[in-house]
C-alpha cells in the first residue's frame, strides 16, 4: 500500500530572541490509509509542530509533505482537505453548537438543507444531537470534545489531526472517550494522526505508534512491538510506566556480567554479541520477580504502592532498578531481596550508539 500521509526529511527551526531551537531534524514518517497513528513524545519536542506542518499552518524549513500521494508544500491549509481537533477544542464561543459544527460547511457554501442533514448525522453519531442549541460555555469538557470532533468530521476530510484532545478531560471521562474514539476510527476508517505525551493513551489507541525524540521519529510500528522491542535505550526508558531498567553490562563468553552478577544472554541475541563487548541491558520491571533463588541481590530503597501492584526501587551495587511486584508489597526500606530475571525478555543495546543490537546488526533469528 502506498503511503497516504508522508513526511520526508522535515527540518524546522524556531528563532526566538536570537536563540535558535531546532525542533525537527530530518523527520521521516510514512502513514498508510486508515491508520490510527499516535505520535508520542515528551512535552516541547515538536509534536504539535508536526501537526501544524501537515495541516499547512506552518511551513517546514526543509523537506516535503505529501498528502494522498501528492506533494502539498505550497498548498494553504484550506486546500489540503484535512480536519483538526485542537487541544483546547477552539469552539467559537459566540456560536451555538449547531453553528460550530456547521461552520466548515458554511464556509464552503454548502446548501442549507445539506448542512442540516450532515450536521444532524454527525451529531447523532457522537450523541450530541440534544445539545445543538446550546452555547459552548454550557457544555462539559467531554461534550466540548465531542463537538470538536463532530466539527472535524462534518466536512468529510479523510485525514484528521488531533492534538491531545483528551488532555482536558478528567480521568474517568478520558477512558470512555478513548474507547469511543477507537470505535469511531473502526467505523469510519479515516486516517487519524494523534499526538500526545500520554503513553497509556498512545499504547491503547494506536494501530501504530511513532515515538518522537530529538527531532526525529525514534521508533515506529505496532505499539506492543515497540514496547517489547524498543529500537534504542531512550525509547525503552521512555515507554512504559514504570519504564525499562537500563543497566551497563559486559559480555563474558555465554553470559553478561551486570553489577558483578551473571545473567544469561537472551536467545535472540546469542549470535550477535562477542565476548568482552560492552552492552546496555534493558529489563522491563514486569519481567523481574522477587524470588529467594534469584540471581541478583539488592536493597530496597523505596516502595510505591499503587493498589494493583507495587513498584520496588532496588539498589544493586551502583545501579538503581525498578521491579514490579504484584499484590501489595510489605517490604521495608533497607530490606535485602533477591531478584530473578526472565532472561529471554531482556533487550540488549549497543553501549556506544544505544541502539537495539537486534536491529543494528540486522540478523534476525527466530
Partner 1 sequence: MIQVKKHKIFKILRLGISYIVLIIMAIASIFPLYYVFMTSFSNAPNLISLAISDLFPKHLYFTAYKELLTTNLYGGSFPLWLRNSLILAGSTAVISVLLALITGYALSRLDIPAKKTLATFIYIVTFFPYTATAVPLYLLFAKFHLLNYIGLILAYTPGTSIFAAFIAKLSIDSIPASYEEIAMIDGLSRFQAFLRIIMRLALPVVALTAILGFSGAYLDFALAYSFLLPNIRAWTATIGLYYMAGLINPASAPAYNLFAAGAVIMGIPLMALFIVSQKMMTRAYSNLAGVKQ
Of 11, 57, 96, 178, the one binding partner 1 by CB under 8 A: 57
**Of residues 275-314, those binding partner 1 (CB under 8 A):** none
Q: Does residue 131 interact with partner 1 by CB under 8 A?
A: no
DSSP annotation of 165 reads T
DSSP 3-state of 183 = helix
C-beta closer to partner 1: residue 4 or 234: 4
Q: Does residue 104 interact with partner 1 by CB under 8 A?
A: yes
Least distance (Å) from partner 1 to the CB of residue 175?
A: 20
Piece of 53-61, 239-247, 281-289, 339-347 that binds partner 1 (CB under 8 A) = 53-61
Q: Does residue 144 interact with partner 1 by CB under 8 A?
A: yes
Q: Does residue 108 interact with partner 1 by CB under 8 A?
A: yes
Of 18, 43, 94, 366, the one binding partner 1 by CB under 8 A: 94
Q: Does residue 107 interact with partner 1 by CB under 8 A?
A: yes
Piece of 49-57, 171-179, 257-265, 293-301 that binds partner 1 (CB under 8 A) = 49-57
Strand order in the sheet with 278-283: 261-264, 255-258, 245-252, 278-283, 347-350
Applying CB under 8 A, the site for partner 1 has a residue count of 32
Look at strands 83-85 and 159-163 and give their pairing.
parallel
Q: CA torsion, points 217, 221, 222, 223, in degrees to nearest 10?
A: -10
C-beta closer to partner 1: residue 56 or 215: 56
Radius of gyration for the chain, computed over Cα atoms and rounded to the nearest angstrom = 24
Look up cell 555465554; give the residue.
254
Q: What is the C-alpha separation between 9 and 6, in angstroms, rounded? A: 10
Q: Check if the beta carbon of residue 213 is closer than 8 Å to that of residue 237.
A: no
Of 36, 89, 238, 269, the one binding partner 1 by CB under 8 A: 89
Least distance (Å) from partner 1 to the CB of residue 360?
A: 40
Sign of CA dihedral 41, 42, 43, 44: negative
Nearest CA to 144 among 90, 222, 71?
90
253 contacts: CB under 8 Å, gap ≥ 6: 275
C-beta closer to partner 1: residue 15 or 332: 15
Applying CB under 8 A, which residues contact partner 1?
Answer: 52, 55-57, 76-78, 80, 82-84, 86-90, 92-94, 103-104, 107-108, 135-138, 141, 144, 151, 155, 168
Amino acid at each position: 500500500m502506498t503511503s497516504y500521509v508522508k513526511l520526508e526529511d522535515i527540518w524546522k527551526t524556531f528563532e526566538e530572541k536570537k536563540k535558535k531551537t531546532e525542533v525537527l531534524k530530518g523527520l521521516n514518517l510514512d502513514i498508510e490509509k486508515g491508520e490510527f497513528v499516535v505520535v508520542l513524545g515528551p512535552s516541547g519536542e515538536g509534536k504539535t509542530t508536526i501537526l501544524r506542518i501537515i495541516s499547512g499552518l506552518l511551513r517546514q524549513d526543509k523537506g516535503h509533505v505529501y498528502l494522498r500521494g501528492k506533494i502539498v508544500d505550497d498548498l494553504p491549509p484550506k486546500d489540503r482537505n484535512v480536519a483538526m481537533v485542537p487541544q483546547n477544542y477552539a469552539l467559537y464561543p459566540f456560536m451555538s453548537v449547531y453553528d460550530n459544527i456547521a461552520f466548515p460547511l458554511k464556509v464552503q457554501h454548502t446548501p442549507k438543507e445539506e448542512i442540516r442533514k450532515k450536521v444532524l448525522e454527525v451529531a447523532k453519531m457522537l450523541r450530541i444531537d440534544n445539545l445543538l442549541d446550546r452555547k459552548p460555555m454550557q457544555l462539559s469538557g467531554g461534550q466540548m470534545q465531542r463537538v470538536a470532533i463532530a466539527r472535524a468530521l462534518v466536512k468529510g476530510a479523510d485525514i484528521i489531526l488531533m492534538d491531545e484532545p483528551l488532555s482536558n478531560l478528567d480521568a474517568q471521562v478520558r477512558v470512555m472517550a478513548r474507547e469511543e474514539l477507537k470505535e469511531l476510527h473502526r467505523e469510519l476508517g479515516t486516517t487519524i494522526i494523534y499526538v500526545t505525551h500520554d503513553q497509556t493513551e498512545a499504547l491503547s489507541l494506536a494501530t501504530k505508534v511513532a515515538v518522537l525524540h530529538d527531532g526525529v521519529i525514534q521508533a515506529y510500528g505496532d505499539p506492543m512491538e515497540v514496547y517489547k522491542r524498543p529500537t534504542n535505550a531512550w525509547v525503552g526508558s521512555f515507554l512504559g510506566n514504570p519504564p525499562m531498567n537500563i543497566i551497563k553490562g559486559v559480555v563474558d563468553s555465554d553470559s553478561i556480567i551486570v553489577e558483578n552478577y551473571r545473567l544469561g544472554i537472551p536467545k535472540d541475541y546469542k549470535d550477535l554479541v562477542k565476548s568482552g563487548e560492552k552492552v546496555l541491558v534493558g529489563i522491563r520491571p514486569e519481567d523481574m520477580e522477587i524470588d529467594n533463588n534469584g540471581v541478583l541481590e539488592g536493597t530496597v530503597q523505596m516502595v510505591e504502592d499503587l493498589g494493583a501492584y507495587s513498584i520496588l526501587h532496588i539498589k544493586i551495587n551502583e545501579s538503581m532498578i525498578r521491579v514490579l511486584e504484584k499484590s501489595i508489597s510489605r517490604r521495608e526500606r533497607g530490606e535485602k531481596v533477591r531478584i530473578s530475571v526472565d532472561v529471554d525478555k531482556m533487550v540488549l543495546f549497543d553501549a556506544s550508539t544505544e541502539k537495539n543490537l537486534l536491529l543494528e546488526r540486522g540478523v534476525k533469528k527466530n
